[in-house]
A and B are shown apart, each in its own frame.
Chain A
Amino acid sequence: MTAHLRNLQGNAACALGAIAAGCRFYAGYPITPSSEIAEWMAAELPRVGGIFVQMEDEIASMAAVIGASLGGMKAMTATSGPGFSLKQENLGYAVMAEVPCVIVDVMRGGPSTGMPTRPSQADVMQARWGTHGDHPSLVLAPHSVAEIYSETIRAFGLAERLRTPVVLLYDETLGHLIETIATEPPPPEALLERKWAEGPRREYRPYAAGEDLVPAMARPGDGHRAHTTGLTHDETGFPTQDPERVARLLDRLLGKLEHHRALIEKVDRVETEDAELLIVAIGIAARAAKAAVGALRRQGVKAGLFRPVTLWPFPEEGFRSAVATAKTVLVPEMNAGQLVLEIERLAPAGVTVHRLGRYDGEPIAPEEIVAAARELVR
């Protein structure tokens, strides 16, 4: 298969990545700056035998995606901050009922309607804690158009393989950034797929999981009996408030992502081997940080970049090894300080953590990071 070079905006790359991953169901609702994903899906999905449904609102879009996934299809929706807020209850349902699906949040300035056409990274914590209750979150944060394409494919793989909703998080700048990328669909055997229920129907228990902690899903029409609910349940799927069963379910749900950290975690490091100043950034801020690392190195500052491509669960080990030689950590992010909280939690004693925040609707420029870094190493 030959690579096909195209000029695409991030949102288009997301749509094409989803199709390459085997997504054939999209339910969505117009919201700036994510609407192009819906528009591309509306045009492209029918060509590959897929279905695009424009729903009546944000909540319905998320619910329809969950329904389609339970119905046996790879399904996705996309939105931005206000819509992401509306989807949260359904997102929690997908976590609890273990329904694979992909939700794209193209971040814009908030809170509330905020700045629909301006970038922000202020949904870092909403993506982690937006829905209520103790729950695991799986969030990927690409930083280029090419990576939006590849991470969308990876998002589907993780969602299907681990039976969990996966959030793809990037900002307006990346959504509308146009770059030349190779859209090369991965071979089918390279895709991670859902584990379907097999074996005697009589013995099937919908939420019984083996060592990998992921229960096999009943394929509709196969005859396996499954009870699906957002109520706390045991292996049978039926609701229970028995403390032992409740704890067992939550232990497994929370442990599921921990168990698969090796599969889930993905980090990017730039010159971290001897870095005394470590910059930690995601998305478009990481693009600026990459340029800043080059500039700082030329100025004799031993700078490096650690970029969690998998944002949640946070790649703790990757960060610990990247921060090993550092004396100072700088976290540039387009919000009032969200990612920095996790870095403060994980930074070893003696390492000082600083943030460079901006929430005025403008991306952070490399020069700002260089200037802040030079202040810190002076």
Chain B
Amino acid sequence: MSTSPETIDLRALRRRQPRFSGMDPGHRACQGCGQSLAAHIVTEAAGPDVIVANATGCLEVFSTPWPQTAWRIPWIHSLFENTAALAAGIETALKQQGRPTKVLAFAGDGGTFDIGFQTLSGMIERGHNVLYVCFDNEAYMNTGVQRSSSTPHAAATTTSPAGRVRPGKRHLKKDLLAIIAAHHLPYAATATVAYPGDIKAKVRRAMAIEGPSFLMIHAPCPLGWMHGPELTIKVARAGVETGLTPIIELERGEVVSVLPIREKKPVTEYLRLQGRFRHLLGDDPVAVEERTHLQALADHNIETYGLLAREGDLRDSLSAALVRRGGAIR
């Protein structure tokens, strides 16, 4: 091994660095799956001393094909609606036996916004030491892309199809974070796979807190969103840069930080990448109206959370992306 400072290979050095991995590669996720990427990052940051309760969904299916598991940490498949309650039971039993540990609850948006909403609320209200992670790909992907209450307005799914009469889903995406915030929990945040460093920082933050915490990670699904698997990060980043995916942190329900947008993009930059919004790109009055509406929603997010970066902000969307690609902030 060379010791000359001139010949140090930073890449090789980074590879030799001991790093915990909670989830191994070789599982059966689709190419470009945002959820598998997010789960990998979350478990890497959370470390080995956890137990995972995982709701029914793609993550559960693709990570445990017979006779293998991708998990390097204790992991339990619950049902669809009961993940937060199961996690609460595990956490309480361990605490009662004097062996407390952090329990992670993993679920998709269907298992979080819809069928598992009640147990999630109860878990947070009772103050269990659980980090609940919602992998938000904005529809029921595991059962064949049906709409959820997280599906954005105007997106096409198999149960909110776009046609001559209706341009996709007719309801707004539920503002789940606002509802979570109303529980006055110690820590809640959103993140996106476009900014892995941000996910890690937020997971570490949550792990350090005794009590309930909630992390919602925007995770594109190439199959359901109908974009190329190579575009996952680009799509996720466009969500942030348009203001449609606000990346924020809450403490006791108050916004304490946001990921600022350096260059705001029009929502069409996000929509045009995805087949689920294809019907919104034309010049017909319905498409124009829907685009205008979505732009208004993005502008509302930007206004509400103060997402526009001030000049020279080193933590903005562009700098964070540069860091991800190995660049440095100077």
Question: Would you give the 0/1 interface string for A20-49, flagging 1 where the beta carbon is closer than 8 Å to chain B?
Answer: 000000000111100100110011001000
Contact (Cβ within 8 A) A57 B81: yes
Contact (Cβ within 8 A) A30 B79: no
Contact (Cβ within 8 A) B158 A46: no
Q: Which residue among B115, B144, B163, B166 has the maximum number of chain A CB atoms within 10 Å of its CB?
A: B115
Question: Would you give the 0/1 interface string for B152-179, flagging 1 where the beta carbon is closer than 8 Å to chain A?
Answer: 0000001111010110000000000000
How far is B143's CA from A38's CA once the two chains are assembled, in angstroms? Answer: 11
Chain A nearest CB from B156 CB (Å) reads 11
Contact (Cβ within 8 A) B165 A54: no
Q: Which of chain A's residues has its CB closest to B146's CB? A: A30
Question: Would you give the 0/1 interface string for A103-126, flagging 1 where the beta carbon is closer than 8 Å to chain B?
Answer: 000000000110000000000000
Residues of the A chain whose Cβ atoms lie less than 8 Å from the Cβ of B56: 113
Question: Is B110 interfacial (CB 8 A cutoff)?
Answer: yes
Contact (Cβ within 8 A) B159 A30: yes
Question: Would you give the 0/1 interface string for B117-155, flagging 1 where the beta carbon is closer than 8 Å to chain A?
Answer: 100000000000000000000001001101101000000
Contact (Cβ within 8 A) B115 A58: yes
Within 8 A of A (CB), among B92-132: 110, 113-115, 117
Question: Would you give the 0/1 interface string for B41-76, flagging 1 where the beta carbon is closer than 8 Å to chain A?
Answer: 000000000000000100000000000000000000
Contact (Cβ within 8 A) A30 B161: no
Q: Which residue among A30, A43, A58, A113 has the maximum number of chain B CB atoms within 10 Å of its CB?
A: A30
Within 8 A of A (CB), among B260-288: none
Contact (Cβ within 8 A) B79 A112: yes
Residues of the A chain whose Cβ atoms lie less than 8 Å from the Cβ of B147: 54
How far is B81's CA from A277's CA once the two chains are assembled, in angstroms? Answer: 46
How far is B159's CA from A360's CA once the two chains are assembled, in angstroms? Answer: 31
How far is B205's CA from A303's CA once the two chains are assembled, in angstroms? Answer: 71
Contact (Cβ within 8 A) B115 A29: yes
Q: Which of A32, A35, A46, A56 touches B165 (beta carbons < 8 Å)?
A: A46
Contact (Cβ within 8 A) B117 A56: yes
Cβ-Cβ contact count across A and B, 8 Å cutoff: 50
Within 8 A of B (CB), among A34-81: 35, 38-39, 42-43, 46, 52, 54, 56-58
How far is B115's CA from A316's CA once the two chains are assembled, in angstroms? Answer: 40
Known A-B contacts A57-B114, A82-B79; the reply to A42 vs B144 at CB < 8 A is no
Contact (Cβ within 8 A) A39 B81: no
How far is B146's CA from A29's CA once the two chains are assembled, in angstroms? Answer: 9
Residues of the B chain whose Cβ atoms lie less than 8 Å from the Cβ of A43: 161, 163
Residues of the A chain whose Cβ atoms lie less than 8 Å from the Cβ of B110: 30
How far is B110's CA from A46's CA once the two chains are assembled, in angstroms? Answer: 24
How far is B143's CA from A86's CA once the two chains are assembled, in angstroms? Answer: 18
Residues of the B chain whose Cβ atoms lie less than 8 Å from the Cβ of A31: 143
Q: Which of A32, A38, A57, A113 touches B159 (beta carbons < 8 Å)?
A: A38
Chain A nearest CB from B164 CB (Å) reads 10
Contact (Cβ within 8 A) B144 A39: yes
How far is B140's CA from A29's CA once the two chains are assembled, in angstroms? Answer: 10
Question: Would you give the 0/1 interface string for A289-302, flagging 1 where the beta carbon is closer than 8 Å to chain B?
Answer: 00000000000000
Question: Is B305 interfacial (CB 8 A cutoff)?
Answer: no
How far is B117's CA from A38's CA once the two chains are assembled, in angstroms? Answer: 22
**Which residues of B pack against A, CB within 8 Å?**
56, 77, 79-81, 110, 113-115, 117, 140, 143-144, 146-147, 149, 158-161, 163, 165-166
A-B contact pairs, 8 of them (CB 8 A): A29-B114, A32-B143, A42-B158, A43-B163, A54-B160, A57-B114, A113-B56, A113-B77
**Which residues of A pack against B, CB within 8 Å?**
29-32, 35, 38-39, 42-43, 46, 52, 54, 56-58, 82, 86, 112-113
Extra A-B contacts (8), CB below 8 Å, given A39-B159, A56-B114, A58-B115:
A30-B144, A31-B143, A32-B144, A42-B158, A43-B163, A56-B115, A57-B81, A112-B79
